[in-house]
Amino acid sequence: MNAFKYLMCVGLIFIYSDVSANDRVILFKSNWEQGIDERVQFQRPNIESIDLVALDGFVGKFIKVKIDRNSDYSKVANGSPRAEISFGGIFRFDQKKTYVVSWQTYIPPNYEFDCEQSELIAQIHQGPAAGYPPFAIFISENNTYEIHSRTQSQVDSVTAFFGKPTADVGKIVRWQLLYRPDSSGEQSITELKKDGVLVFSIKGVRNSYVKDNNSYLKLGLYKADWLKIKSNVQSRTLYYGAVSVEKIEGSD
């Protein structure tokens, strides 16, 4: 288990539905029916690690990400096991601007959960190359979802746990993140809803690297310690559905 302190405090509850459509700027929106936008970037060990597929009984298409413990990750970022899509070539998160990020995940019925180590399934990656992501969601080794909100300073670290991923097998899970990065913490908001239910909310806590206007969204599997420590799984496959990112104008 990590050494970060546990904190789950309900802060500002943002009523997104009250925001006028005229105040929303769509930065990205796709259900992948027309294919994967050419601006989306891939981090993967091989071509087969990221694919576009249909799932029986569900509308739209899904991005299938797959990693295998025996694959060669030497040419992947950090040399670590991952299959991720990056939106950094499409938009970046600016300080003290408000964003609503929505996406879907699907855990297949044959998914074998790792009881030895966690795996990251979504993140906002900091602009600088090195360091921990300021926001990340994991499937933990204890059959819970795990959230990290961090900066480059240990003092700002917040960790929370909720739900049971095993209960979501075979279902579409709808995530919505309200994110207002502020390295000063004065106006910062990090709020996550899962299937419409608030599961994490903090404000007034620094949630981005200092003056970082280059952080970006990544979705996919990242299993940093897979090749270093014990694991009871050899392969992981996860699916991602529709994604949308909106910027709220006048949110200064």
27-248 maps to which CATH number? 2.60.120.200
The per-residue pLDDT for 23 is 87
pLDDT band at 89 (very low <50, low <70, confident <90, very high): very high
3-state secondary structure the chain: CCCCCECCCCCCCCCHHHCCHHHEEEEEEECCCCCCCCCCEEECCCHHHEEEECCCCCCCCEEEEEEECCCCCCCCHHHCCEEEEECCCCCCECCCCEEEEEEEEEECCCCCCCCCCCEEEEEEECCCCCCCCCEEEEECCCCCEEEEECCCCHHHCEEEEECCHHHHECCEEEEEEEEECCCCCCCCEEEEEECCEEEEEEECCCCCCCCCCCEEEEEEEECCCCCCCCCCCCEEEEEEEEEEEEEECCCC
Average pLDDT over residues 46-58: 96
- pLDDT, tens only, 119-156: 999 999 999 988 999 999 999 999 999 999 999 998 89
Residue spans of the domains in the chain: they are 27-248
pLDDT band at 6 (very low <50, low <70, confident <90, very high): very low
- Res. 2: pLDDT tops 70: no
Average pLDDT over residues 171-181: 98
Residues facing residue 99 across a β-bridge:
179, 247
Average pLDDT over residues 107-118: 97
- The mean predicted confidence, pLDDT, of the chain is 91
3-state secondary structure 19-78: CCHHHEEEEEEECCCCCCCCCCEEECCCHHHEEEECCCCCCCCEEEEEEECCCCCCCCHH
Average pLDDT over residues 221-233: 97
Pairing label, strands 135-139, 145-149: antiparallel
Write down the pTM of the prediction: 0.91
- pLDDT, tens only, 56-80: 999 899 999 999 999 999 999 899 9
